[in-house]
Amino acid sequence: MTVQERGAYRVIGQGIPRLDAADKVSGKAEYADDFHVPDTWYGAVVRAPVACGKLKSLSRDPAFDWSQVAVVTPEDIPGNNIVDMMGRDMPFIAHDEIQYLGEPLALVAAPSLHVAKQAAAHFKVDVEERPALLTLQEMVAVYKEDPAKLHKLSGQTIRKGDAASALKDADIVLEREYTAGHQEQLYIEPQGMVAIPERDGTMFIHGSMQCPYYINPELCETLDIPPEKLRVKQSAVGGAFGGKEEFPTLIAGYCALLALKTKRPIKMIYDRNQDILYSTKRHPSWSHYRVGVMKDGTIRAIECDFVLDGGAYTTLSPVVMYRGILHAAMGYRCENVSIDGHVYRTNTFPNGAFRGFGAPQALWAWESLIDELAAACGMTPDAFRLKNCLHEGDVTPTGGLLRDSVGSPEVLEKTLERCQFAEKWQQCSRGKSGERLWYGIGLSFFAHGSGFTGDGEARMKSKVALDLETRADGTPIVNVRVSSTEMGQGTGTILPQVAADALGIDVTHVDYPMPDTFKVPDSGPTVASRTAMVVGSTIYSAGQKMKADLESFVSETLFDGQPTELVENQFRAEYDNRSIPFVEGAAAYLASHGPFRVYDQFKLPDYVKWDQENFVGDAYPAYAWGCNVAEVEVDTLTCEFRVTKVTAFFDIGRILNPVLAMGQVQGGLIQALGYAMMEKLAIKAGKYDADRMQTYVIPTSVDGPEMDLHFVEYPWDHCQPGAKGVGEAPMDGLAPAIANALEAASGVRLRDLPLTPERLFEELSRSQRLTA
């Protein structure tokens, strides 16, 4: 069932240009480094020289001129020296134990960046170094020996049926391991923040961020100020991808602590080298599966260990792992599931949020394994998926019922048909000797949970407001007041589109001012593909309330009490056909009542039930669905390979702006291509080896394949307009599709990300397929 009653919408579904486009093409948009605040000093961080150890002393070089430098050490922190995220294990400034190379030991500020940097280099640090645990590989080796030897940051299980005994009944049991490495978000605008101490004691934080309401309250405890004295405002954001979800609390804290000390505005803009070395990355992962199947392709039992390398502190790792385990067996029918998720400490910067948030790691392994299972049953990858994929009415690995808006199996069937998978599968080279080029095609199919995991949305109760106000030029304007941020993905355009349709007006009468915690309620963070669905639907209902109030005002004051409707920008009286433009009615309202604010709050449908302790029930209120097919070509002389074509279908629910949505898919797939085969971070001497843009290589305009991309629309029925989120799903499935295609081309399987020619060469050598 594809629901497509478009008639109800005029603005939703239109590919209107971005509302911020004019500012961005003319250089007027103000990013964090663009503010000019008089008397600003520049901040820098004094960093630990070892990845693990005990700090014995920190002293300043007496030969350096400290007269123009302010220094903040742990003793200067007014409140608790704690970064309060999902754990309370991370200090703002290390004072005893050092858990990663570059951990802050002190903060400095000076009138120029040059002096601040010099000052930071003139500290003498005495540490007792200890052996560090640095890589996923080292961590997994210890885990296999004895997990108790690791420092556990988080753990969670999923249990359904009885996987252990069902495995014994299976015809075939496959045991496999897959790993994935770090990925850097590499937003082109580096992290940056300004903290301005105001006369009334307010600390004003302004800069590049995804989640203003993370910084407030997280910083209140450290700065020891009440929430109403901490004002957080978003600047234009030059890309984030999760990298500006939790990290900005740190840089905002550094700036604010220095601002308290100096009583001046403090600016910190990371250079690219600091940004790569000292900000979050996608968690490296190790997935270990034992899966039992019957000869006819039925999946009997799934056992999985999903282990994340958390880096030094807890931060958001538990929820990243939750999303990982919730996707690690998703998509297919199976009665017996047992998943153990773990996060362990390593001595690197804490790993964190990155588009997909654990799902890409989980699906990388799971969708690779699905191909291996199909082969083990003697089935093709498409037939195996078609046989097992979830349909409406089926249950998820946590026992959640897929009630409605299920784009499976349509996305799968449509993709297979569109790219002629079955025919092309027959043409794959499978490592045939004597050929110069090998061809392969590979598939992935997946769901991506929309909104917060588990009980997140129920606890969050996202709040939104719409303000009817008067613009500087005297005309009425409806301002969307949410804490959801525009970071390139289009929030600042789709939310006004939704508000416009809810009100029955043109989008030209709606605006989206940058979120400022002094002006907007807490709509929750801009993460988890939740903005279009959760915040969008709440805006829609707020818009309907505002519309009703305006209609009754116009009815009573201008239309003699006749029933009145605001539609297509006109207030229309039912009986005598009188009508006036929206601006006229709204101006009359403003003249008589003044500015008008409508609040609303998101409410999950009652049928969504979730047991957070046991992970049983509806893990997400809805799912986006996707299917990716990659075609690859391998040069058998060099083992180089390239993706020649990607075909994909996505069900993202109601499409609010098709051009923006397609932009998310195009950009997300190219980022996924980077994750799959280009982006590599190794750790040398405790440090990421690719620590600048020359060495951390992301896709350019000539690296992408031909793309054939489509949507199917299964709106989420519970709320209007029924979007399910598009931000993350494009990141989920390309890596396994490429690995599956590579196996079809070469006959060997790569189980570690990124997929590189070197790894392919090793595997081919091992399997003695390189004979030519």
Q: Which residues bind another protein (CB under 8 A)?
A: 15, 17-18, 20-31, 33-34, 36, 185-190, 236-241, 271-272, 487-490, 659-660, 663, 666-671, 692-694, 698-702, 704, 707
Task: Give the residue among 526, 443, 340, 297 at the shortest CA–CA distance from 744.
Answer: 443
Residue 20 binds which entry of ligand FES, another protein, none, CB below 5-8 Å type-dependent: another protein
Min dist CB 490 to ligand FES, Å, is 11
The one of another protein, ligand FES, none whose footprint includes residue 293, by CB under 5 to 8 A per kind, is none
Contact 283, 309 (CB under 8 A): yes
Compare residues 426 and 701 and give the one whose CB is closer to ligand FES: 701
Q: Tell me the DSSP string of 91-126.
A: -SS-SSEE-STT-EEEEEEESSHHHHHHHHTTEEEE
What secondary structure letter does DSSP report for 61?
-
Task: Sketch the per residue contact string, 471 through 500, with ligand FES: x for CB under 6 A, - otherwise.
Answer: -----------------x------------
Contact at 8 Å (CB) between 535 and 495?
yes
DSSP H/E element including 145: helix 136-145
Nearer to another protein, 35 or 761 (CB): 35
Residue 704 makes contact with ligand FES by CB under 6 A:
no
Binding mask 177-196 for ligand FES (x = CB under 6 A): -----------x--------
490 binds, among ligand FES, another protein, none (CB under 5 to 8 A by kind): another protein
Rounded least distance, CB 703 to ligand FES, Å: 15
Name the residue nearer to ligand FES (CB basis): 297 or 488: 488
Residue 459 site contact among another protein, ligand FES, none (CB < 5 to 8 Å, cut-off depends on kind): none
| Total residues belonging to the chain | 772
Give min distance, CB of 442 to another protein, in A: 20
Smallest gap from Cβ 142 to another protein, in A, equals 35
Closer to another protein by Cβ: residue 36 or 436: 36
- Of 728 and 743, the one with the shorter C-beta distance to ligand FES is 728
In the bound state with another protein, the residue whose beta carbon lies nearer, of 18 and 182, is 18
With CB under 5 to 8 Å by kind, the binding choice for 30 among another protein, ligand FES, none is another protein
Least distance (Å) between residue 741 CB and another protein:
19
Instruction: Please name the amino acid found at residue 284.
Output: P
Say if residues 129 and 53 touch (Cβ distance below 8 Å): yes
Q: Minimal distance in Å, beta carbon 269 to another protein?
A: 9
Q: Are 490 and 566 in contact (CB under 8 A)?
A: no
Among 239, 521, 617, 704, binds ligand FES (CB under 6 A): 239
Q: Which is nearer to another protein, 274 or 287 (CB)?
A: 274
The 66-105 contact track toward ligand FES, x by CB under 6 A, reads ----------------------------------------
Distance CA 670, CA 124 (A): 44
**β strands within 323-482, DSSP E:** 336-345, 437-450, 463-470, 476-481
Torsion sign across C-alpha atoms 607, 612, 616, 619: positive
What minimum distance in Å lies between the beta carbon of 108 and another protein? Answer: 20
In whole angstroms, give the CA distance from residue 48 to residue 120. 11
Residues 691-715 as b or e (16 or more Cβ within 10 Å = b)? beeeebebbeeeeebeeebebbbbb
CB neighbours of residue 668 within 10 Å:
24
**Nearest distance from residue 496's CB to another protein, in Å?**
16
User: Which residue, 123 or 675, has its beta carbon nearer to another protein?
Assistant: 675
- Residue 285's DSSP bridge partners are 180, 308
Peptide bond into 721 cis (omega under 30): yes
How many residues belong to the site for ligand FES (CB under 6 A)? 3
Cβ-based nearer residue to ligand FES, 239 or 513: 239
Q: Which residue shows structure tokens 């409707």?
A: 565
- CB of 291: closest distance to another protein in angstroms? 34
Interatomic CA distance for residues 247 and 261, integer angstroms: 22
378 binding partner (options another protein, ligand FES, none; Cβ < 5 to 8 Å by kind):
none
Centroid of chain to Cα 291: 29
Nearer to another protein, 27 or 434 (CB): 27
Sequence-ordered list of residues with C-beta below 8 angstroms from that of 722, at least 6 positions apart, any chain? 3, 405, 537, 653, 654, 715, 716
Task: Assess contact for 49 and 127: CB atoms under 8 A.
Answer: yes
Alpha-carbon torsion 109, 52, 340, 296, what sign?
Answer: positive
Residue 488 CB, shortest distance to ligand FES, in Å, is: 5
Cβ-proximal residues to 655 (8 Å cutoff; 6+ apart), any chain: 13, 661, 711, 713, 723
CB of 666 vs another protein, minimal distance in Å: 4
Shortest Cβ distance from residue 693 to ligand FES (Å)?
Answer: 7
* Nearer residue to ligand FES within complex by CB, 207 or 721: 207
User: Measured from the CB of residue 678, what is the shortest distance to ligand FES in angstroms?
Assistant: 16
User: Is the separation of the CB atoms in 425 and 380 below 8 Å?
Assistant: yes
Nearer to ligand FES, 694 or 768 (CB): 694
CB atoms < 10 A from the CB of 9, how many? Answer: 18
Pick between residue 140 and residue 660 the one whose CB is nearest to another protein: 660
The nearer residue to another protein, 23 or 65, going by C-beta atoms, is: 23
User: Chain centroid to CA 413: how far?
Assistant: 27
Report CA-CA distances (Å) from 52 to 98, 317, 615, 686: 5, 20, 35, 9
- Nearest distance from residue 187's CB to ligand FES, in Å? 7
- Give the binding site for ligand FES (CB under 6 A): 188, 239, 488
